[in-house]
Amino acid sequence: MGEALNERTGGKKIVLAIDLMGGDNAPKAVCEGVEKFYNELKNKQEISFMLIGNAESKTLVSEQILAISTFIETEEFIKTSDKPASVIRNKNTSMAMCIRAVADGLAMACMSAGNTGALMAMSKLYFKTIEGISRPAISTIMPTKNQPTVFLDMGANLVCDSDNLFEFAIMGTAFAKAAFDIKEPKIGILNIGSEETKGNDMVQKAAEKIRASALGVNFVGYVEGNDINTGDVNVIVTDGFTGNVVLKAIEGMGKLIKYYVKQHLMSSLLSKLGALLAYRQLKKLGEKLDPNNYNGALFLGLDGIAIKSHGSANAKGIANAISVCHKLAKQNVVSKINDEIKRVLSGG
């Protein structure tokens, strides 16, 4: 497998491993997403794919993509309903082969829209955790008015302590610096109020740890739910249970707003005329509210790049997740995160 890949890429291209079988709309949406990403890529010469899927999925891949890819066939894949413990040791699933490609140095990063628990468990198994970090976290980029906001954890760690939140702050800061070139990312802890006395012991102790560390100079304190999308804070940390609820609540609100806008614009002849006149701006609004535009979450804290796509993502969402995968691989983000973690933990 490695020889075929090296021969095809010449050892120079950015190779991305893609699990064609993961997700609610796989393999069709994933194959279409690969195609969409490639067609929108400016420098097509720098990219190559390792595609892992069954025989049927191969028929959905275009000749254009197959020409620059290595296709690895397997009939085994992980279902959304599978428990991670029951599938983690199976090396022949499309997800496992996708992750192993990165661990073995055959690809620089991987992407899957499959079972989140299984993807996290397998990534931890094959990549290992970065030294100094006890638990990896799932991070995403929140849509904001200003600069990008790195939000974590989104569900990898449902129960956390203050040490975990402190590590999330380190990883989120490193990610913001490496991926977005933000020199001094502002950090906040999600809380029920901004006052110093608010919150439980976990967030209060985490705040103390951050203030006493090298991150303290950029720590803004507590932020509330309505601060997430302002862009005033670059890194927001919380436990995985809260983070997952917040993320889905925001996505749900976006869908509700789109529904109400459409409903009211179609309510009368006059409003329909107004909608026609404002078509371009309404289209831009729809793009801003589409969760597929923000698809692609990184497992931070692992010594390898694994990107998780929403399971329900369409081709557009898959393309965006692959774009995140490509960007982080190109910027060698894992190495930069490693360096930042060492700096903070050493007190530098």
Same domain? For 167 and 205 the reply is yes
pLDDT of residue 288: 65
Same domain? For 190 and 215 the reply is yes
Average pLDDT estimate for 50-76: 95
Consecutive H or E run containing 337: helix 333-345
At 348, the pLDDT band (50, 70, 90 cuts) reads low
pLDDT of residue 285: 65
At 5, the pLDDT band (50, 70, 90 cuts) reads very low
- Asked if pLDDT for residue 187 goes beyond 50, the answer is yes
Asked whether the beta carbons of 22 and 112 are under 8 A apart, the reply is: yes
Asked whether the beta carbons of 17 and 50 are under 8 A apart, the reply is: yes
At 3, the pLDDT band (50, 70, 90 cuts) reads very low
Residue 176 CB: number of other CB atoms within 10 A? 25
- Domain span at residue 239 reads 134-298
Same domain? For 294 and 306 the reply is no
pLDDT of residue 168: 94
Average pLDDT estimate for 165-170: 94
Same domain? For 178 and 258 the reply is yes
In this structure, what CATH number is given to the domain that contains residue 75? 3.40.50.10950
| Top-confidence residue, 339 or 303 | 303
- Asked if pLDDT for residue 11 goes beyond 70, the answer is no
Q: Among 11-15, 96-100, 248-252, 279-283, which is the least confidently predicted range?
A: 279-283
Average pLDDT estimate for 201-214: 94
At 238, the pLDDT band (50, 70, 90 cuts) reads very high
Average pLDDT estimate for 93-119: 94
Same domain? For 280 and 347 the reply is no
Asked whether the beta carbons of 139 and 175 are under 8 A apart, the reply is: yes
- Asked if pLDDT for residue 103 goes beyond 80, the answer is yes
Which residue among 283, 298, 313 closes a domain?
A: 298
Helix axis angle for 28-40 and 315-330, nearest 10°, is 50
| C-alpha triplet 178, 181, 183: angle, nearest 5° | 105
Same domain? For 177 and 233 the reply is yes
Beta strands 149-152; 137-142: pairing state: antiparallel
Query: Under DSSP, is residue 84 helix (H, G, I), strand (E, B) or coil?
Result: helix
- Asked if pLDDT for residue 74 goes beyond 90, the answer is yes
The count of domains in the chain is: 2
- Asked if pLDDT for residue 291 goes beyond 70, the answer is no
Same domain? For 16 and 119 the reply is yes
In this structure, what CATH number is given to the domain that contains residue 237? 3.40.718.10
Same domain? For 283 and 312 the reply is no
Same domain? For 199 and 111 the reply is no
- Asked if pLDDT for residue 4 goes beyond 50, the answer is no
Same domain? For 122 and 27 the reply is yes
- Asked if pLDDT for residue 113 goes beyond 70, the answer is yes
Q: Among 56-65, 126-135, 317-326, which is the least confidently predicted range?
A: 126-135
Average pLDDT estimate for 238-264: 86
Same domain? For 294 and 307 the reply is no
